[in-house]
Amino acid sequence: MHCPFCRHPDSRVIDSRTSDDGLSIRRRRQCPECGGRFTTTETASLAVIKRSGVVEPFSRDKVISGVRKACQGRPVTEADLAVLAQRVEEAVRQTGVSQLDTNEIGLAILGPLRELDEVAFLRFASVYQAFDSLEDFETAIGELRADRAKAGAADR
Ligand SMILES: [Zn+2]
């Protein structure tokens, strides 16, 4: 990439570091022309194929805006949403795919959202999985109860 200071087309890497989560590399670079130093972050590219067929880069902001509505009126903070989006990104990156569709992102959201807030989870799941009857809600709530009982048993 071009030097952000003088637009020189080349730069020299003076330091490389892998991030703590192992999902990105930060490189400290220096421009041989003006001596300016800057940092680049390298991550595997992750593309999202929308229902319309349009491909766009994965965005944590899109994940957050996708779940924000389900979290309305719930005790969920912006920081919670940021952590959720990070967990979703980590989960999809760890599967090793380079592209996925919005449906798969919805699936990746369900787990972390459920841990964050069960009501928001039910709202999100009802839209995403197109619940169309009370029975669908009852089934989902039944699963939440069963898992809670299991978790309770494990605590004892
Ligand atoms: Zn420069």
- What does the pLDDT read at residue 88? 94
Residue 83 alpha carbon to ligand 1 centre in Å: 36
In this structure, the answer to whether residues 52 and 25 fall within a common structural domain is: no
Q: How far is CA 100 from CA 71, 87, 104, 129, in A?
A: 24, 16, 6, 17
CA 13 to chain centre: 29
In this structure, the answer to whether residues 23 and 51 fall within a common structural domain is: no
Q: Are 21 and 90 in contact (CB under 8 A)?
A: yes
- What does the pLDDT read at residue 136? 92
Each residue's pLDDT tens digit, 138-153: 999 999 999 888 887 7
Q: Are 135 and 128 in contact (CB under 8 A)?
A: no
Each residue's pLDDT tens digit, 37-95: 999 998 888 899 988 999 988 999 999 999 999 999 999 999 999 999 999 999 998 88
Q: Which two tokens stand for residue 118?
A: 């069960």
In this structure, the answer to whether residues 75 and 26 fall within a common structural domain is: no
97: left (phi over 0), alpha (psi -120 to 50) or beta: beta
Residue 10 alpha carbon to ligand 1 centre in Å: 8
In this structure, the answer to whether residues 66 and 92 fall within a common structural domain is: yes
Q: Is residue 62 part of a domain?
A: yes
Backbone angles phi, psi at 9, to 5 degrees: -75, 5
- Sign for the pseudo-dihedral over CA of 86, 91, 94, 100: negative
95: left (phi over 0), alpha (psi -120 to 50) or beta: alpha
- What does the pLDDT read at residue 45? 84
- What does the pLDDT read at residue 155? 63
Pairwise pLDDT comparison (80 vs 131), residue with the higher score: 80
In this structure, the answer to whether residues 55 and 38 fall within a common structural domain is: no
Asked if pLDDT for residue 156 goes beyond 70, the answer is no
In this structure, the answer to whether residues 146 and 89 fall within a common structural domain is: yes
Residue 33 alpha carbon to ligand 1 centre in Å: 5
In this structure, the answer to whether residues 26 and 79 fall within a common structural domain is: no
Residue 2 alpha carbon to ligand 1 centre in Å: 8
Q: Which two tokens stand for residue 131?
A: 């619940």
Total structural domains within the chain = 2
Identify the domain containing residue 27 by its residue range: 12-43
Q: Are 85 and 60 in contact (CB under 8 A)?
A: yes
Pick the closest to residue 73 from 119, 112, 113 (CA basis): 119
Percent of the chain with pLDDT over 70: 98
Q: Is residue 140 part of a domain?
A: yes
pLDDT bracket for residue 22 (50, 70, 90): confident
Instruction: Give the pLDDT mean for 111-135.
Output: 92
